[in-house]
């Protein structure tokens, strides 16, 4: 505990995810006072065609 | 708000998803009286090998 | 009902998933006394680069 | 199919949710050309203390 | 691994859930050949007002 | 983006969650180089009767 899911637009590299896992585990362990070995992190990569906001599919938005 | 997840068998095209985002955003905005810019929609495409119903894996079902 | 999600490291074959669907549907149907035709099972395959535990990305762990 | 989850700040009444179920089922059935009897909708009510945005817990935001 | 979520209409007792945890852990451990100590099971209790099917809110259905 | 879900055993106070929202938003914003105003965090409080590990319901475990 806890189990953390990070849903993000696809594109982050394994190295970037690795850094986030290291830092987020430390942060949650210290803030919630839990054993870092009991913290699990899942990434969900979201394709631009699978994400809609402001009434439009993200892949059609000019961002 | 709200955050809406649509989990469906894979196969819908970006255009079909786009139409659903447009219509669903309008519907939820009007029904729940929320700002359409605060509505987020996520699609989860489910492979036929990753879905089981009636005690069988969907890819083995005669549908 | 119920709707069951099995999130697991990627690698299980359709046949292995099929066996689990068959057995899990039977188990849940008997234990919770529900109609097996109303039990839905979803698999989520987790890439090793999308899973962090013990402060490390799974793909970097020596397991 | 599909299975739709609507995660929203708590406060909507059963009647409001009922209207959304009726309209959303019709919309998805027509747009995705699926049998309305195969569409499932789940609501997740989010407490203001369980939602953070703009770096702040929602219950502390002046909205 | 794996992480299993069981979303069900509210009403099952802790004892019933306990039996399912015991049996499901054994089943998944044997079928997927994984260490039972690495299997996590989460229950999500769904209120009848938070579940829609067949175009109707479950609490309004005659079941 | 991203949307982060923190599923944890119930018991953390709003103040503790608030601190985690503040720190996690900053961390993710810096690590993933995203606008902090586009980061959303959801907490899911897990009752001890709704969590199973090591083949046992958490509420029956001596921890």
Tokens describing residue C37: 């035709």
The closest alpha carbon to C51, from F12, A17, F27, B42, belongs to A17
Instruction: Judge whether residue E41 has pLDDT over 80.
Output: yes
Domain residue spans of chain E: 3-60
- Which residue numbers in chain A have pLDDT < 70? 63
Chain A residues closer than 8 Å to F1 by CB = 8-9, 46
Write down the pLDDT at residue E1.
Answer: 85
Query: Residue F1 — pLDDT band, cuts 50, 70, 90?
Result: confident
- Phi and psi of E36, rounded to 5°? -60, -25
Contact E5 C8 (CB under 8 A): no
Contact E4, C4 (CB under 8 A): yes
Chains E and F touch (3+ CB pairs under 8 A): yes
DSSP state at residue A60:
G
Is the ipTM higher than 0.90? The answer is yes
Cβ–Cβ under 8 Å, residues A51 and A12: no
Residue D35 sits at φ, ψ, to 5 deg, of: -65, 125
Write out pLDDT tens, residues F10-57. Answer: 999 999 999 999 999 999 999 999 999 999 999 999 999 999 999 999
- The verdict on whether C2 is a catalytic residue reads yes
> What confidence score (pLDDT) does residue D63 get?
60
Task: Give the C-alpha distances (Å, rounded to integers) separating E5 from A47, B18, E43.
Answer: 24, 30, 6
Tell me if residue B4 falls in helix, strand or coil.
strand
Per-residue pLDDT tens over the stretch B1-33: 899 999 999 999 999 999 999 999 999 999 999
Q: Which chains touch D (3 or more CB pairs under 8 A)?
A: B, C, E, F
Residue B49, CA distances (Å) to C5, C12, D62, E21, F43 in order: 13, 10, 47, 25, 31
| pLDDT surpassing 70 at residue E18 | yes
Three-state secondary structure of chain F: CCEEEEEEECCCCHHHHHHHHHHHHHHHHHHCCCCHHHCEEEEEEECHHHEEECCEEHHHCCC
Please report, for residues D47, E13, E16, F8, F9, the alpha-carbon distance to residue F50 in angstroms, rounded to integers and kept in the order given: 18, 10, 11, 11, 9
How near does any CA of chain A get to the CA of B45, in Å?
8
Counting as contact any 3 or more CB pairs under 8 A, the partners of E are A, C, D, F
Contact A18, A24 (CB under 8 A): no
Mark which residues 4-63 of E lie under 8 Å from D by CB: 7, 46, 49-57, 59-60
Query: Has residue E10 got a pLDDT over 70?
Result: yes
- Which CATH number does A3-60 carry? 3.30.429.10
Cβ partners under 8 Å of residue C12, min gap 6? C20, C43, C45, E32
The confidence score (pLDDT) of residue B63 equals: 60
DSSP helix/strand/coil, D55: coil
Q: For residue D9, give the DSSP letter.
A: E
Q: Which two tokens stand for residue A20?
A: 């986030």
Q: Which residues are C42's β-sheet partners?
A: B51, C5
Residue among A42, A31, A52, D8 nearest F1 (CA): A52
Nearest C-alpha of chain D: how many angstroms from E10?
A: 13
Which of D7, D46, D49 faces F17 most closely, judged by CB atoms? D49
Cβ contacts (< 8 Å) between C6 and chain E: which residues? Answer: 2-4, 28
Q: Are strands F56-57 and C51-53 parallel, antiparallel or unpaired?
A: unpaired
């Amino acid at each position: 505990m806890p189990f953390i899911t990070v849903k993000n637009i696809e594109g982050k590299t394994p190295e970037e995810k690795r850094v986030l896992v290291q830092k987020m585990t430390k942060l949650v362990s210290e803030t919630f006072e839990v054993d870092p070995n009991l913290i699990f992190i899942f990434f969900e990569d979201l394709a631009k065609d699978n994400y809609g906001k402001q009434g439009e599919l993200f892949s059609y938005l000019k961002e």
